[in-house]
Structure 1
Amino acid sequence: MSELNNTPFYQSHIDANGKIVDFSGWALPIHYGSQIEEHNAVRTDAGMFDVSHMVVTDINGSEAKNWLQKLIANDVNKLKFVGKALYSGMLNDDGGVIDDLIVYRMDEAETNYRIVSNAATRDKDLAQFNKVAQGFDVTLTERPELAMLAVQGPNAISKLSQAKPAWAETLQQLKPFVGADLTEIEAQDWFVARTGYTGEDGVEVILPADAANAFFALLKDNGIAPTGLGARDTLRLEAGMNLYGNDMDETVSPYECNMGWTLALKDERAFVGRDALVAKRKASKEAGSAMKQVGLVLESRGVLRAGMTVTINQGTENEQTGIISSGTFSPSLEHSIAIARIPLSTTEEDTVQVDLRGKGKFVDVRVIKLPFVRNGEKQFD
């Protein structure tokens, strides 16, 4: 694994018997023995994920806010106070998704922000940041010296408070999508936010790399289970959350991957990709080719997988097709589920099928509105 990048938690993964795999060039654990047990720990108790491969970029300058207003599709004016977080797509000139990211407001003056973005898209993200920054008074500083640990599950806050009693009051006061600087409580460069990628309560902690392994050990000693990439994927899929490269990419419009709610189009703000996005959406609706994102449920035997074709109204004059972008066996529901892009015109009355083995033997699947599971509870009838 010497050719891979190690996160600051690498030794912790080895000590906890993590099975290390290559994830976008990073050596990360797929599991520590049982993916199912780790999944269930997060749904019912508390687990922790190493997400230090994510890219943290600090933004400062008198035009930092103006730069963000051009860079991303959501509206930075929604960040009404220090610590507030905003989820948004960053689009290309054609209206496709370069990446999805989170922006935090870091000061009162609206001159300091933080972006957390995906590891697999690091190079093109930073290139887009710098391209859009031309002409703006803004400085971009990547923070590779920081580590990041997600602590997720219904007992995540209570167990983290037990491990770090000095944080308890701050953690209890944190509302969803709000972060807090822990410098005065803990030390410089410690930050916590009530965000996550599992559909459960919890936080993500940013901390100095040299404190990573001791922090991991402390949380493990307080009953927070080490959790790998495998459980992270089944948890996020059950929660109906996109994975970049599967459910969205530069060829996919935000409207096609359930990110339409992140588009701030009510004012005239000229963010990158806006004009193409609006024009393509109008054209696809007029042509009857517009797509939408849905959940698929297979309650019979078999597993839905990414890349499988979804057929709607097979054998009729109204036959159409879509595609599965993510699919798996759901540990919480004990049958297969998938995220798919299908024609916008599809209704719940339409017959939807998938050829599981590519041999012309189609099985019926149900179409539901995402998510499948949130806060440990099934979200559909």
Structure 2
Amino acid sequence: MGHRTPLYDAHLAAGAKMVDFGGWDMPIHYGSQLEEHHAVRQGAGMFDVSHMTVVDVAGNDSRAYLRHLLANDIDKVPAGRALYTCMLNERGGVVDDLIVYKGADQFRLVVNCATRDKDLDWMEGQAGGYAVDIRERPDLAMIAVQGPEARAILEQQLCDTAGEAVRDMPFFGFETVGEWLIARTGYTGEDGAEIILPGGKAPELWQRLLDAGVRPIGLGARDTLRLEAGLNLYGNDMDDDITPWEANLGWTVALDDTERDFVGRRALERHKEQDHPVMRGLVLEDKGVLRPHQTVHAPNGEGETTSGTFSPTLGQAIALARLPAGTTGTVEVEIRKKRLRARVVRPPFVRNGKAAYKPLD
């Protein structure tokens, strides 16, 4: 038996098929992964993401500490905004990717559940010399509500203050309402919000949204949605040995302040000037299914798929792949000893429910 979120019983009541995910008992689907995927693209769905690790960082040196710890610069955003970033090791590899919420006097980080122990150890190990308090928050739960109708439903179902916050919130903005943190963030490519709240309050909110017609969504559809949106998955598309340059995450690296010596900066600067593989999208033109770790044959060398699936929205197989720099046009993906044609594209694959990728010719 793995760890259970405060919504475990609600998942069972909804008929979820439960699986182990990073040591947690989580729903993979509630009957139809395909229907759940389309529900988020066309209406609204909700995800239990309470397995994610929430960490509060406070103290006199919290700003300086995070400017050292993170590759992106928290000074780029004002209080009340969130920032997507990576923690890097000294080689420039990605320890983890995360979102940091910048408050007036403290910060909240949400990191991946599968890397919890590694992340907490790394954060503590980098805190030497800083007056900072690092506190995990296992008492909190997290519900993501995503889809074109998500914010309108949340505005109706939350209390007046929280509903107004959702209505007026900018993209990657957030607001604290009592013990709740409500953020306009997500992992599907759709609009919506993620709500971090006390674990004991999560079942009540879940039921309220369920009664309002919001469909529960499992991890299966969460993965197809995020891949259609061209979003990376830690452990597939990046890890401790992959730099942001190789994971299409160069935009999350802030090098403009030359005085900010964040962990991994020197390695990144050296690596940026060297030839290295790059992350691109693939759309399969022949019949087949793209999966991780399939060899890609390009005119200028070999690469590998990192994430792959069948896109319910496009009706085609899609993948992210690490390819030799300069790869464009058509490549061949080796699937069961056959080579199938795929088009090299720039993600996202889907935006607003329609094809959005751009072929790289």
Alignment check: 8 A CA contact 1:73 1:264 kept? yes
Tell me the matched-pair count.
356
Deviations 1:96-128 (A, max 9, x none): 000001111111xxx411111110111111111
Matched letter for residue 163 of structure 2: A
Distance 1:79 1:365 in 2: 39
Question: In the alignment, which residue of structure 1 is the partner of 2:93?
Answer: 96
User: Any idea what SS the aligned residue of 2:151 has?
Assistant: helix
Matched letter for residue 99 of structure 1: D
Specify which of 61, 66, 84 is matched with residue 68 of structure 1.
66
Alignment check: 8 A CA contact 1:300 1:335 kept? no
Question: In the alignment, which residue of structure 2 is the partner of 1:245?
Answer: 235
Question: In the alignment, which residue of structure 1 is the partner of 2:341?
Answer: 364
Question: In the alignment, which residue of structure 2 is the partner of 1:234?
Answer: 224
Q: CA deviation at 1:280?
A: 2.2
- Within 5 A, what are the aligned runs for 1:148-187? 148-166=142-160, 167-183=162-178
Q: CA deviation at 1:380?
A: 2.9
Distance 2:155 2:28 in 1: 27
User: Any idea what SS the aligned residue of 2:54 has?
Assistant: strand
Question: In the alignment, which residue of structure 1 is the partner of 2:256?
Answer: 266
Considering only aligned residues, what root-mean-square deviation do their CA atoms show, in Å? Answer: 1.0
Alignment of 1:143 onto 2:137: yes
Deviations 1:248-307 (A, max 9, x none): 00011101111100110112210000101111232x32xxxx111111001321101100
Q: CA deviation at 1:333?
A: 0.5
Distance 1:127 1:380 in 2: 38
Runs of 4+, deviation exceeding 2 Å: none
Matched letter for residue 7 of structure 2: F
Specify which of 49, 56, 59 is matched with residue 57 of structure 2.
59
User: Any idea what SS the aligned residue of 1:115 has?
Assistant: strand
Q: CA deviation at 1:165?
A: 4.8
Distance 2:84 2:343 in 1: 29
Distance 2:44 2:81 in 1: 24
Matched letter for residue 88 of structure 1: T
Deviations 1:69-122 (A, max 9, x none): 000000110122x22101101000100000001111111xxx411111110111
Alignment check: 8 A CA contact 2:185 2:193 kept? yes
Gaps of 5+ in 2: none
Gaps of 5+ in 1: 184-188
Alignment of 1:208 onto 2:205: no
Alignment check: 8 A CA contact 1:201 1:375 kept? no
Distance 1:262 1:242 in 2: 13
TM-score (norm 1): 0.92
User: Any idea what SS the aligned residue of 2:155 has?
Assistant: helix
Specify which of 179, 191, 196 is matched with residue 186 of structure 2.
196
Alignment of 1:48 onto 2:46: yes
Q: CA deviation at 1:312?
A: 0.4
Distance 1:368 1:347 in 2: 8
Specify which of 312, 328, 332 is matched with residue 353 of structure 1.
332
TM-score (norm 2): 0.97
Distance 1:225 1:9 in 2: 14
Distance 2:350 2:328 in 1: 22
Question: In the alignment, which residue of structure 2 is the partner of 1:115?
Answer: 109
Q: Percent identity, please.
A: 52
Alignment of 1:375 onto 2:356: no
Distance 2:281 2:214 in 1: 30
User: Any idea what SS the aligned residue of 1:144 has?
Assistant: coil
Distance 1:86 1:196 in 2: 12
